[in-house]
């Protein structure tokens, strides 16, 4: 039986039923909610709630994800962080070179890391931070995991502010320098709009103004997750 979240249902779609083969359809006719589509077998036992988190470098995705995870009980998976942890692995040289240059790592590599992290988690609520970076990322995720996100957050931030934040971040990242930031911003401005358009058309996009204090921004984020809170 499929259930509809009534509170803020237009913000987020969710089903408590288990995913099985084929495309699920709501019991009651509704054009309000975009239905999560499960066409794979991976999540037969665990029906996931997946939120993709988009935004340019330094837009504050990671900062907000930490707050969302703490407040709403999500597991925070940063695609960039998963890749950085793989730098000493078999494919590590490809990853390190790509990150250092500010380009995008081949999608299969990233998606398989996300898949592994999701499978090994006991949680069913996932924030996937910094993903998808492009259409290839998105399509590869759908192909390998057989699932779409329930909602997509987009932290919209002016370039000038993003550059300032990245250059002030003192975490020792190899890509936090002006040359790499320029490449990251260029790729972001070319590739992100396609992803945004796709999820806008599917009624899943929630654009957040990423300028302001961390708490001001979180106040905009909070309502998107109120529907999830009701499921706890
Ligand atoms: N609202 C804010 N105002 C000012 N600084 C912020 C704000 N949010 C985050 N920051 C700071 O800006 C820097 C970048 O933030 P964060 O790491 O969350 O961005 P990100 O979108 O995850 O970036 P990246 O894609 O490069 O990982 C950090 O040093 C963080 O502390
Ligand atoms: N989907 C992704 C996400 C990240 N990368 C690479 O990692 C770098 C750092 O990512 P952050 O989200 O932590 O900024 C990014 O610049 C890419 O090189 C990727 O390839 N694909
Ligand atoms: Mg980050």
Please state, in angstroms and rounded to a whole number, the distance separating the CA atoms of residues 46 and 19: 7
**Bridge partner residues of 55 (DSSP):** 155
Distance between Cα 60 and ligand 1 center (Å) = 4
Task: Name every protein residue with a CB atom under 6 angstroms from any ligand 1 atom.
Answer: 55, 57-63, 80, 130, 165-166, 168-169, 212-214, 217
> Which pLDDT value is given to residue 7?
32
Give residue 43's pLDDT.
60
Residue 62: CB within 6 Å of ligand 2? no
Whether 53 and 155 have beta carbons less than 8 Å apart is answered as yes
| Residue 226, pLDDT score | 83
Q: Confirm if 145 and 115 have CB atoms less than 8 A apart.
A: yes
Nearest Cα to Cα of residue 212 among 72, 60, 55, 56: 60
Residues with CB under 5 A from ligand 3 (ion): 62
| pLDDT, tens digit, 9 for 90 and up, residues 12-63 | 444 433 333 222 222 223 332 344 555 455 565 668 999 999 999 999 999 9
pLDDT tens digit sequence for 139-157: 999 999 999 999 999 999 9
With a 6 A CB cut-off, is 99 part of the ligand 2 pocket? yes
* Predicted local confidence at residue 42, as pLDDT: 55
Q: pLDDT above 90 covers what percent of the chain?
A: 76
Superfamily of domain 58-230: P-loop containing nucleotide triphosphate hydrolases (3.40.50.300)
| Pocket mutation for ligand 1, best pick of 52, 56, 57, 60 (most atoms within 8 Å of C-beta) | 60
* Pairing outcome for strands 151-156 and 205-209: parallel
Atom of ligand 2 nearest to the CA of 84: 7
The b/e string for 107-129 (b: 16+ C-beta within 10 A; e otherwise) is bebbbebbeebbeeeeebbbbbb
**Contact 102 CB / ligand 2 (< 6 Å):** yes
Q: What's the predicted TM-score (pTM) here?
A: 0.87
Residue 162 CA to residue 155 CA, distance in Å, equals 11
Identify the nearest ligand to the CA of 52 by its number. 2
């Amino acid at each position: 039986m499929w259930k509809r979240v009534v509170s803020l249902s237009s913000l987020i779609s969710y089903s408590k039923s288990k995913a099985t083969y084929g495309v699920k359809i709501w019991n009651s006719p509704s054009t309000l909610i975009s239905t999560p589509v499960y066409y794979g077998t991976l999540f037969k036992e665990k029906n996931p709630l997946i939120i993709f988190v988009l935004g340019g470098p330094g837009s504050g995705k990671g900062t907000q994800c930490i707050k969302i995870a703490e407040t709403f009980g999500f597991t925070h998976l940063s695609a960039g962080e998963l890749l950085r942890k793989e730098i000493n692995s078999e494919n590590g040289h490809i990853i390190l070179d790509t990150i250092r240059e500010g380009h995008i790592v081949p999608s299969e590599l990233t998606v398989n890391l996300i898949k592994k992290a999701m499978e090994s988690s006991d949680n069913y609520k996932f924030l996937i931070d910094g993903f998808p970076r492009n259409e290839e990322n998105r399509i590869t995720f759908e192909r390998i995991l057989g699932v779409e996100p329930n909602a997509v957050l987009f932290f919209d931030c002016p370039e000038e502010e993003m550059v300032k934040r990245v250059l002030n971040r003192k975490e020792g990242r190899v890509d936090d320098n002006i040359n790499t930031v320029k490449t990251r911003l260029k790729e972001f401005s070319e590739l992100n709009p396609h992803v945004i358009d796709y999820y806008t058309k599917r009624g899943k996009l929630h654009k957040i103004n990423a300028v302001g204090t961390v708490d001001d921004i979180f106040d905009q984020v909070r309502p998107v997750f109120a529907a999830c809170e009701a499921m706890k």
